[in-house]
Structure 1
Amino acid sequence: MTASARARELLQVATEAADAKAATDLVALDVSSPLPFVDIFLLASGNSERNVIAIAGEVEDRLNEAGIKTLRREGRSEGRWILLDFGDLVVHVFHQEDRTYYSLERLWKDCPTVPFELPVGSEA
């Protein structure tokens, strides 16, 4: 199984939103084979709790504006690891230290990455 076209469209909106708030280390993983209930995990990092909260807020706002409902939100008050569930897409926004500690890329290393495009001039 591979990520659906819809999940890829959501990913594009989410990556552009995260990039707009200076997210770093954006990585999208196709988790559709091992997880039947989600297609893509988007991982992003922020350099402070405030930045993590801003990134997650922008992603949620833009996807909600696009008509995509947030199904679940976890970790917003701490600003260390925020999980946003949009069904086909789950967004994980980490503080840099927590991302290194939990190392989801290592946990899901057998899952292929999903390409996405960022606006010209972005450095994520």
Structure 2
Amino acid sequence: MVATDLARTVALRAAQAAADKKARDIVLLDVSDEVVITDIFMIASAPNERQVLAIVDAVEDTLRRELDVKPQRREGLKGGRWVLLDYADVIIHIQHSEERDYYALDSLWKDCPAIEFVDQSYRDSLEARGGEPSASLRDAA
């Protein structure tokens, strides 16, 4: 099984919203072959609780405004250390860097295929400097 086009669109848009708020180490994993309840896990981290919550706000606002989708469930907002946003086909984990290192979700799901995400602001700055994106960046466009 492969993640649906809608799930990929939601995940990629959420990843860009997180990147715009300086989220670190954004990973998109197609877990559709391993998990029945969802297609994609997005994992991102930030160095402090305030930034975790800012990333969560940006993701929710962007997905609501641009794709008219809202999370079915939200957990962890009070502590700001690990927030889970459940969009059914996409589950988003925004973690404090310490939680990310400790729980190591990336390694738990390491056998699942990654979905390529390239931060648009990185691509734009590279092109503005006259650099040419690598083949993988050109293909992602």
- TM-score normalized by the length of structure 2: 0.83
CA offsets 1:10-67 (integer angstroms, 9 cap, x no match): 0121011101111000000111011122010000001100000100111011111121
Q: Which runs of 5+ in 2 are unaligned?
A: 124-141
**Structure in which a larger fraction of residues adopt helix:** 2
User: Quick check: 1:57 aligned with 2:63?
Assistant: no
How many residues are paired up?
122
Residue identity (%): 45
CA distance in 1, matches of 2:45, 2:85: 14
Gaps in structure 1 of 5+ consecutive residues: none
Contact kept, 8 Å, 1:12 with 1:117, in 2: the verdict is no
Q: For 2:8, what is the secondary structure of its paired residue?
A: helix
What is the Cα-based RMSD across aligned positions, in Å?
1.1
Q: Tell me the distance in 1 between the aligned counterparts of 2:60 and 2:96.
A: 17
TM-score by structure 1 length?
0.94
Cα deviation per residue 1:82-103 (whole Å; 9 max; x = unaligned)? Answer: 0000111110000000000000
Show the 5 A alignment for 1:93-108.
93-108=94-109
Q: Which structure has the higher relative contact order (CA within 8 Å, separation 6+)?
A: 1
CA distance in 1, matches of 2:119, 2:12: 8
1:41 maps onto 2:41 in alignment: yes
Q: Which runs of 4+ in 1 moved over 3 A?
A: none
Aligned equivalents of 1:113, 1:17: Cα separation in 2: 18
- 1:98 maps to a residue whose letter is E
Structure 2 SS opposite 1:58: helix
Q: How does 1:13-52 map to 2 (within 5 A)?
A: 13-52=13-52
